[in-house]
């Protein structure tokens, strides 16, 4: 087979990437535009980044977003990992199929429905809406992503490793922390990062569950854009893209490492 790229492959690759990234590139480019008018290029400048530092509204929103993302993804990672363990380990408990189906459901649930139902819940229990309700909502919807990622790792986990640890006098709890967790850590971390990015760019669920005083960055941007796109928005979006890119990159590096470890483990099992 001819393994070099044919002109057809090259064009489709270029077109595909162009389709994906030209809008983003434009946004990044215009964040360095000296002109106030978004559509006119007037030379390179970083003035909008400086102006951003003065814009308390946007900075506040960024701060809220980062805090929500961090707290919610942390909690979602713990809960999601526990759920994954329960679902893969405790084989045939009553209603197992239903539960595992239920962890997948939120992945395909329209966000509007998730948001609305959470809002109803918060209203029903009389919880004051704001920072904490957004955080709780984000925990709920990102947790299942973590569970799915960790579960796929646990399925291939060699349980005799845990048995060996128990056999050598290690208690089950300690075994989890010194054997199981280190080995599934790449999956847990990529679950964390997935939850983090999901939480960071969520607009719909946050809009439903927020209250006065807690505006996330996507919400702020959305409301400002309706009054017209300013270069400041471009600047903050560029920063946001930067953060997401770093996280995604880290996640893919981790995934690669995990794949390598899994291959090695399989190799050991096969040769052994």
Partner 1 sequence: MAADKARTQTIGAVRRTFAPWNDPTATPLIRFENVAKRFGEFVAVDGVSLDIYEREFFALLGPSGCGKTTLMRMLAGFEEPSAGRITLGGQDLAGVPPYRRPVNMMFQSYALFPHMNVWDNIAFGLRQDGMPKAAIKARVEEVLALVKLEPFARRKPHHLSGGQRQRVALARSVAKQPKVLLLDEPLTALDKKLREDTQFELMDLQMSLGMTFLIVTHDQEEAMTVADRIGVMNLGELVQVAPPAVIYEQPATRYIADFIGDVNVLETKVVTAGAEGVELASEKTAYPLHIAQPLDAAVGDTAWLAIRPEKMRIALVPPAHLADNCFEGVIWDIGYLGDLSIYHVELACGTRIKVSQPNVSRLVERPITWEDKVWVTFSPDGGVVLTR
Contacts with partner 1, residue ranges (CB under 8 A): 158, 160-161, 163-172, 174, 179, 182-183, 261, 264-265, 267-269, 271-272
Kindly provide the b/e burial profile for residues 230-266, where b requires at least 16 CB atoms within 10 angstroms of the residue's own CB. bbbbbbbbbbbeebeeebeeebeebbeebeeebeeee
- Give the shortest CB-45-to-partner 1 separation in angstroms: 50
Residues 6+ apart with CB under 8 A from 239: 62
Between 239 and 261, CB nearer to partner 1: 261
- Give the shortest CB-107-to-partner 1 separation in angstroms: 30
Between 109 and 265, CB nearer to partner 1: 265
Distance, in Å, from the CA atom of 106 to the CA atom of 78, rounded to the nearest integer, reads 17
- Give the shortest CB-168-to-partner 1 separation in angstroms: 3
Picking from 7, 147, 36, the residue whose alpha carbon sits closest to that of residue 84 is 147
State in Å, rounded, how far the first CA of the chain is from the last one. Answer: 35
Between 125 and 168, CB nearer to partner 1: 168
131-155 and 181-200 helices, crossing angle to 10°: 140
Between 183 and 219, CB nearer to partner 1: 183
Between 223 and 267, CB nearer to partner 1: 267
Given phi > 0 = left and psi -120 to 50 = alpha, else beta, which region is 156?
alpha
SS3 assignment, position 104: helix
Distance, in Å, from the CA atom of 187 to the CA atom of 81, rounded to the nearest integer, reads 9
Q: Sign of the CA dihedral 180, 183, 184, 189?
A: positive
- Give the shortest CB-87-to-partner 1 separation in angstroms: 21
- Give the shortest CB-189-to-partner 1 separation in angstroms: 15
Between 16 and 172, CB nearer to partner 1: 172
Between 66 and 161, CB nearer to partner 1: 161
- Give the shortest CB-162-to-partner 1 separation in angstroms: 9
Distance, in Å, from the CA atom of 66 to the CA atom of 199, rounded to the nearest integer, reads 9
| Residue corresponding to tokens 């979602």 | 76
- Give the shortest CB-178-to-partner 1 separation in angstroms: 8
Report yes or no: 130 and 212 within 8 Å, Cβ to Cβ.
Answer: yes
């Amino acid at each position: 087979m001819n393994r070099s790229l044919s002109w057809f492959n090259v064009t489709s690759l270029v077109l595909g990437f162009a389709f994906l990234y030209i809008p983003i590139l434009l946004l990044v480019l215009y964040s360095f535009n000296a002109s106030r008018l978004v559509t006119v290029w007037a030379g390179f400048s970083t003035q909008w980044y400086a102006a951003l530092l003065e814009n308390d509204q946007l900075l506040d929103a960024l701060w809220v977003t980062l805090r929500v993302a961090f707290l919610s993804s942390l909690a979602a990672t713990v809960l999601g990992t526990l759920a994954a363990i329960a679902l893969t380990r405790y084989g045939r408990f009553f209603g197992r199929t239903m539960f595992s189906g239920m962890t997948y459901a939120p992945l395909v649930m329209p966000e509007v429905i998730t948001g609305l139902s959470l809002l109803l819940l918060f209203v029903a229990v009389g919880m004051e809406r704001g920072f904490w309700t957004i955080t709780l909502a984000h925990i709920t919807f990102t947790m299942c992503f973590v569970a799915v990622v960790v579960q796929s790792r646990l399925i291939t986990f060699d349980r005799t490793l845990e048995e060996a640890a128990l056999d050598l006098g290690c208690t089950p709890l300690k075994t989890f922390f010194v054997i199981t967790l280190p080995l599934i850590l790449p999956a847990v971390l990529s679950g964390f990062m997935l939850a983090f990015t999901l939480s960071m760019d969520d607009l719909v669920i946050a809009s439903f569950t927020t209250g006065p005083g807690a505006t996330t960055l996507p919400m702020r941007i959305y409301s400002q854009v309706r009054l017209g796109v300013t270069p400041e928005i471009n600047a903050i979006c560029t920063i946001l893209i930067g953060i997401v890119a770093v996280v995604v990159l880290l996640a893919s590096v981790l995934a690669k490492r995990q794949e390598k470890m899994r291959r090695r483990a399989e190799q050991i099992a096969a040769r052994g």
